[in-house]
Chains A and B, each alone.
Chain A
Amino acid sequence: METVYDVALAGLIASGALVLVRLLRGRTASDRVIALDTLLLVAVAAVAVQIARLDQEEYAGILVVVSLLAFTGTVTAARFLERREDR
């Protein structure tokens, strides 16, 4: 089971790195917002794997809070982007 956790974490780190490239390259602001949202998803997944690996349930609160913040942040950024074109 330990190796499964290691492989999973390695895969998540690789995903995070790829998303980071998109975040830096971006081009448009929407691209970067999408990249940030994905990065947060990857982070939540990584925390979940760590919870399983270390068998520590206390960190479950992180998942809830990060999910909430990711959602509100993404929608807020999207509304802001939408409005920019009207000016």
Chain B
Amino acid sequence: MSTLLDVVAAVLLLAGVALTLLAAIGLLRFPDALTRMHAQTKPAVFGLMLVLAGTALATRSIGLGATLLLVAGFQLLTAPVGAHAIGRAAYEGGQADRARLVRDDFAARDDEDDPGAR
């Protein structure tokens, strides 16, 4: 039984690290800030959660498991907010490569009835 848990923990750990590696590669290869956001936040966060799950299983301690669950829950709640904040800052602040966008509905509506438009 204990070796089965160890095997599952090992799989989780390695899968998590693989996802994180993927996120890092994406961070390097993607062309601009906004697209890099996609590579970074989600796969990295899920990689982290897999690693946390693997750690919880490997140590088989309930107290640690509860703390790690808390950290994972916190990441789940805050990662989308952080991603949105940076995505918005990159887009509005002109740091994203707008020319690359195949279709941009937000720019199209800017001229209409938005009093705060630049």
A36 CB to closest chain B CB (Å) equals 10
What CA separation (Å) do A84 and B95 show in the bound complex?
11
CB closest residue in chain A, given B71? A63
A82 CB to closest chain B CB (Å) equals 4
Q: With A31-B33, A34-B40 given, is the CB distance from A79 to B85 under 8 Å?
A: yes
Between A and B, 6 residue pairs with Cβ closer than 8 Å are A8-B13, A11-B18, A31-B36, A34-B86, A41-B47, A78-B82
Contacting residues of chain B (73-118) with chain A, CB-CB under 8 angstroms: 74-75, 78, 81-82, 85-86, 88-90, 92-96, 118
- Residues on the A chain within 8 Å of B90, using CB: 28, 30, 81
A interface residues with partner B (beta carbon < 8 Å): 1, 4-5, 7-8, 11-12, 14-16, 18-19, 21-22, 28-31, 33-35, 37-38, 41-42, 44-45, 48-49, 51-52, 55, 57, 60, 63-64, 67-68, 71, 74-75, 77-79, 81-82, 84-85
The answer to whether A55 and B89 have CB atoms under 8 Å apart is: no
B117 CB to closest chain A CB (Å) equals 12
The answer to whether A15 and B58 have CB atoms under 8 Å apart is: no
CB closest residue in chain A, given B49? A45
The answer to whether A51 and B64 have CB atoms under 8 Å apart is: yes
Q: How many residue pairs between the two chains, A and B, have CB atoms under 8 Å in the bound complex? A: 161
A33 CB to closest chain B CB (Å) equals 6
Q: With A45-B51, A48-B55 given, is the CB distance from A18 to B68 under 8 Å?
A: no
B23 CB to closest chain A CB (Å) equals 6
The interface bits of chain B over 7-40 (1 if a CB of A lies within 8 angstroms of the residue's CB, else 0) are 0011001101110110111011000010011001
What CA separation (Å) do A79 and B41 show in the bound complex?
17
Q: Which single member of B75, B85, B88 contacts A67 (CB below 8 Å)?
A: B75
Interface contacts beyond A1-B6, A64-B70: sample of 5 additional A-B pairs, CB < 8 Å, sorted by A: A7-B14, A15-B24, A19-B24, A38-B27, A45-B16
What CA separation (Å) do A31 and B17 show in the bound complex?
22
B98 CB to closest chain A CB (Å) equals 13
